[in-house]
Structure 1
Amino acid sequence: MTGVIILKNKILDLLDRSDFLTLSTSVGGNASAANVYFANDGLDIYFFTFNPTRKAMQIAYNPHVQCVIRPENEGGIKELQIDGFAEKIIDKDEKANAKKNILNVTKAFETYMNDEFLIKNDVVGYYKIKPTVIKYVDFFADKQFEWLEITENKPSIFREIFNSLTKKIKYFLAVVRAPFLTATIVPILLGSSIAYWQFNAFNWGIFCLTFFGAIFAHCGTNMMNDYFDHTSRNDETNKLFSPFNGGSRIIQSGLMSPVNVLIYAILFFIGTIAIGLKLNSDVHGSFFAISPLIYLGIIGVFLGIMYTGFLRLSYNGLGDIAVFLGFGPLMVYGAGYMQNQSVDVPTTLLFSIPVGILIALVLFINCFQDYNADKATNKNSWVVKLAGPNEKANYRSPFKVWQYSMILAFIIIVIGAIAFNLLTLIALFPIILFYFGYQKGKSWLNEWEKEDANIEQLPYELLIVNVSTIGTHFLTGILLTMGFLLSAWI
């Protein structure tokens, strides 16, 4: 016991005389290392960083870290090699204590620590490392290596298994950009509900295969987009990324290597093709029977791959059209066709148009924050075309496109309701959300156009319009679906 106390005191002495450590993090075989200032409270180690950094993102998915601490101007070779778990500090009091201790070590980041905008948007973060094993190295001592185990910091086997499973689920959802899969869920539900309304019959087996085939295609498209936006350096150039724009950041955050992203994209598309061939066999009697499904599948996979790859549709002003077609008419009609090959074409296509317009507007409004990165990497989106060519974008014209396109989508819903199904008028309720986003967008534009506008922070203030656009698309699609289902049930 005396030896443990002596070793602990030697470790604490080294910690107290140091203020710098090298931190190693890793996710999926992608290792990272960074030097950070630290402060310690006993054996617990605190450091400050920005939450979007590579090390912080990797800690979020794999808290197991290693670090090395070596005091400056130390005679001989003395250092601590630490194995432990890092966590983002959530508790307000502990966060304040960590901030105070770190500022006692260095004031290099004080401006950022006190920046209200960064705090409000959860950009700055404080982290704690709880060591499980500390290796004390004194290379010229008689006993060169000594180990101290801190057993109370080791999670139980059950806790470790549970944490591992939850982190893996969280990791998978981040990789495939799960929150944006609503772009696929909406048209599949809508097309299927139109067929059910028309024929009063529903095939759950066909629906499930159609649903997962479309989801796989969307996941493949997302990952293909991440890969090619990495190779073009677009995502690396983008300094105004958010949860709604700038890609998933899985490559930039060290969550997955570029080659693995490409492999997963290909596997997802293979899954889509396999499901499509299975559906073709079930419906038309042969895997390779010439049918509308084959043509729809070819077009869908083509658009998914070519969106940022090879033909680079999104780099040539065709990305919005590709998204409109792929997540509008293609999916709505395709889902309806799979339920019944006699599904009414005018009905499915007409109601697919507002859904396609709204999801294209999600992409369109997200490009506002991407303007500088897109312009720098020759990604000529319509926002770049309309807002350029100056360094400070003129968003007045793109915002009008967003506004009038929204109005057009709702006008088409009214036309469709009058022509085919009056109950689909319930899909006009999201006009309230659109109006909210429109008012916020107008106010934002006025701020942006001021001479002293903060062009670094203001793009983040537009995110409320991004969110309202996503919500408008999702709610409109769900309410259109409900309109057809209610008509079938009443």
Structure 2
Amino acid sequence: MIACTLHRQDALVASFAQWIAGARPRTLPNAVAPVVAGTGAAAWLHAAVWWKALLALVVALAMIIGVNYANDYSDGIRGTDDDRAGPVRLVGSRLATPRAVLTAAVVFLLVGAAAGLALSLVSAPWLIAVGGICIAGAWLYTGGSKPYGYSGFGEVAVFVFFGLVAVLGTQYTQALRVDWVGLVLAVAIGALSSSVLVANNLRDIPTDAVSGKITLAVRLGDARTRLLYQALLATAGVLTLVLMLATPWCAAGLIATPLAVRAAAPVRAGRGGRELIPVLRDTGLAMIVWAIAVAIALALGS
């Protein structure tokens, strides 16, 4: 338990529940959905390997929690988290020291690296290099002297790492090849994952602009960011129809449509601040439901 094992001098007043909140549980669908989708793509090729899927899930969950703590640390020491409407910021809210949060980030990233190393060794050793790039991308998102998350490239990184890499990597480690179905799934999950970050950054436009964090949302402005969010959701809907070319069972993915509509409602209505917090939850829920439905459809239709 991170809260218990950190050195006494590093702990301030953060409770276990606050450490859990600091891990940002609402972002976990971004880790689970690509593994589910990638496993569905492997099942389509009659090559699903469930223990590899579980190992990939460990990698994804550890990485995203590590990324979230790393972001908390980096944003906190820069002072960009001092006035936010979103979830708990451990450093920005003075609930834990930067050293404690950095330690948590490193622990989870190391767990992800170890699981990724094991998965690569039993699948394709060249994937170790891909894992190294992913870890570097996780840190440099808000860390380092020129974090790319402060320059409007966060959504691109999420699309690549939690869409293309995560889905196709999961499929490849099990099937030892990828196909067009896996690619379509990867683009759809990448779009949905990016939409979560777009919603998050839409909420934070006022504070990010003041603190000098020039996200894509800050660059686009409020109105165009809202359109981008809806376009990303629509992309997943269109790609569901494309997947029906593989098997009509993939129409099951449309079961996520009501959830996506609910997620988009506050965005379309012009809501801001804390009123956008449920959008992250509902978008993540729509993404995980879509991934599960399509993965089952591919397994049944293979």
Structure 1 stretches lacking a partner, 5+ long: 1-26, 33-57, 62-167, 388-394, 449-457
Task: Give, in whole Å, the separation in 1 of the partners of 2:290 and 2:183.
Answer: 16
Q: What is aligned with 1:280?
A: 120
Q: What is aligned with 1:350?
A: 184
Task: Give, in whole Å, the separation in 2 of the partners of 1:469 and 1:250.
Answer: 24
In terms of fraction of residues, the more strand-rich structure is: 1
Q: What is aligned with 2:277?
A: 463
Output one character per residue of 1:351-403: Cα deviation in whole Å (capped at 9) or x when no partner: 1111110111111011122112111121111211122xxxxxxx222211222
Residue 483 of structure 1 deviates from its aligned partner by: 1.5
Q: What is aligned with 1:361?
A: 195
Report the TM-score when normalising by structure 1. Answer: 0.56
Q: Name the CA shift for 1:325/1:28 in 2 (closer, same or farther; >3 Å).
A: farther
Residue 331 of structure 1 deviates from its aligned partner by: 0.5
Q: Is the 8 A contact 2:148 2:154 kept in 1?
A: yes
Amino acid at match of 2:147: R
Report the TM-score when normalising by structure 2. Answer: 0.88
Task: Give, in whole Å, the separation in 2 of the partners of 1:359 and 1:335.
Answer: 16
Tell me how large the CA RMSD over aligned residues is: 2.3
Output one character per residue of 1:16-69: Cα deviation in whole Å (capped at 9) or x when no partner: xxxxxxxxxxx965446xxxxxxxxxxxxxxxxxxxxxxxxx5xx3xxxxxxxx
Q: What is aligned with 1:483?
A: 297
Output one character per residue of 1:414-460: Cα deviation in whole Å (capped at 9) or x when no partner: 11222x23211211222223333444433x32xx6xxxxxxxxx522
Q: Is the 8 A contact 2:240 2:250 kept in 1?
A: yes
- Structure 2 residue aligned with 1:177, among 24, 45, 61? 24
Task: Give, in whole Å, the separation in 1 of the partners of 2:130 and 2:204.
Answer: 31
Residue 312 of structure 1 deviates from its aligned partner by: 0.9
Output one character per residue of 1:104-149: Cα deviation in whole Å (capped at 9) or x when no partner: xxxxxxxxxxxxxxxxxxxxxxxxxxxxxxxxxxxxxxxxxxxxxx
Q: Name the CA shift for 1:295/1:355 in 2 (closer, same or farther; >3 Å).
A: same
1:339 aligned to 2:174? yes
Q: What is aligned with 2:44?
A: 197
Task: Give, in whole Å, the separation in 1 of the partners of 2:239 and 2:8.
Answer: 47
Q: Tell me, what secondary structure is at the counterpart of 1:236? A: coil
How many residues matched? 294
Q: What is aligned with 1:139?
A: none
Q: Name the CA shift for 1:436/1:295 in 2 (closer, same or farther; >3 Å).
A: same
Q: Name the CA shift for 1:171/1:257 in 2 (closer, same or farther; >3 Å).
A: same
Structure 2 stretches lacking a partner, 5+ long: 1-6
Equivalent positions of 1:153-168 (< 5 A) are 168=16
Q: What is aligned with 1:80?
A: none
Q: Is the 8 A contact 1:181 1:218 kept in 2?
A: yes
1:404 aligned to 2:231? yes
1:188 aligned to 2:35? yes
Q: Tell me, what secondary structure is at the counterpart of 1:235? A: coil
- Structure 2 residue aligned with 1:431, among 257, 274, 290? 257
Q: Is the 8 A contact 2:77 2:92 kept in 1?
A: no
Q: Name the CA shift for 1:254/1:237 in 2 (closer, same or farther; >3 Å).
A: closer
In terms of fraction of residues, the more helix-rich structure is: 2
Equivalent positions of 1:300-449 (< 5 A) are 300-310=134-144, 311-342=146-177, 344-387=178-221, 395-418=222-245, 420-442=246-268, 444-445=269-270
Amino acid at match of 2:113: I
Amino acid at match of 2:274: Y
Amino acid at match of 2:60: A
Task: Give, in whole Å, the separation in 1 of the partners of 2:249 and 2:108.
Answer: 37
Q: Calculate percent identity across the aligned residue pairs.
A: 24
Equivalent positions of 1:14-53 (< 5 A) are 29=9, 30-31=11-12
Residue 404 of structure 1 deviates from its aligned partner by: 2.1
Task: Give, in whole Å, the separation in 2 of the partners of 1:171 and 1:237.
Answer: 17
Q: Tell me, what secondary structure is at the counterpart of 1:283? A: coil
Residue 171 of structure 1 deviates from its aligned partner by: 4.9
Residue 185 of structure 1 deviates from its aligned partner by: 0.6
Moved more, 396-405 or 362-371: 396-405
Task: Give, in whole Å, the separation in 2 of the partners of 1:465 and 1:176.
Answer: 18
Residue 479 of structure 1 deviates from its aligned partner by: 1.6
Output one character per residue of 1:58-94: Cα deviation in whole Å (capped at 9) or x when no partner: 5xx3xxxxxxxxxxxxxxxxxxxxxxxxxxxxxxxxx
